Amino acid sequence: MQSQVKAPECIRLRRAIKQAQRRDQQLADVLKQGLGVVNQTQQNADALATSFQRGTPGVELADVMIEMQKANVSSATVAEVRNRMVSAYQEIMNMQI
């Protein structure tokens, strides 16, 4: 009788683990995508700054400054997200069971 009770529990546990793994993978994908966007923003700003320094026609100082500011804001956002994730992890680790 005990094995009948444990079998459904095991099935539910396996399902819960699979769902958690999918959510973890989704979170990892979102983080990778976000970091990719930030990296692309920084590369665009660097490329535009280099073009301006070389005197490429059509590249304005205002455009360079705007792109550099976008890169700066995106980097600050990533740092803040990281800080909050570390804080949440520490809070979870300090919870008593």
Q: What is the pLDDT of residues 74-91, one digit of tens each?
A: 999 999 999 998 999 899
Fill in the amino acid letter for 42.
Q
Record the pTM: 0.69
74 in the Ramachandran plot: left (φ > 0), alpha (ψ -120 to 50) or beta? alpha
Q: What is the pLDDT of residues 4-44, one digit of tens each?
A: 445 666 677 677 777 777 777 787 888 888 889 999 999 99
What's the domain count of the chain?
A: 1
Higher pLDDT, 70 or 17: 70
User: Which of the four pLDDT bands, split at 50, 70 and 90, describes residue 49?
Assistant: very high
Can you tell me which residue has the tokens 């570390």?
Answer: 86
Dist. CA 29–CA 18, nearest whole Å: 16
Give CA torsion, residues 27, 31, 37, 38, to 10 deg: 150
Range of the domain at 31: 2-93
